[in-house]
Amino acid sequence: MPEKTVHVPGISCGHCVATIERELGSLEGVTSVSADQGSKQVTVAWAEGGTGWEPIRARLDDIGYPAEEA
């Protein structure tokens, strides 16, 4: 199962965490989402052959939480 962790500097409160987890979790094929306010990181896992990273990254952009990739 593919998984990716990215830095999302816009995470500043519990509402941000809840929004990110809800929005990414609603994408078809996403199996888990964990957003952390302290580290400002988001970890997303998705089913093999399902959605890829690009739709997930695009959703983060759409909801106002762009990811910074290393």
Does some domain include residue 52? yes
Contacts of 25 (CB under 8 A, 6+ apart): 32, 33
The answer to whether position 67 is within a domain reads: no
Read off the CATH number of the domain in which 31 is found.
3.30.70.100
The pLDDT value recorded for residue 4 is 96
Average pLDDT over residues 14-24: 98
* Structural domains of the chain, count: 1
Q: What is the 3-state secondary structure (H, E, C) of the chain?
A: CCEEEEECCCCCCHHHHHHHHHHHHCCCCEEEEEEECCCCEEEEEECCCCCCHHHHHHHHHHCCCCCECC
Average pLDDT over the chain, rounded to an integer: 95
pLDDT > 90: percent of the chain:
90
Residue 69 lies in a domain: no
**pTM (predicted TM-score):** 0.94
Assess contact for 10 and 37: CB atoms under 8 A.
Answer: no
Which domain covers residue 29, as residue numbers?
A: 3-62
What confidence tens digit (pLDDT) does each residue in 23-51 have?
999 999 999 999 999 999 999 999 998 78
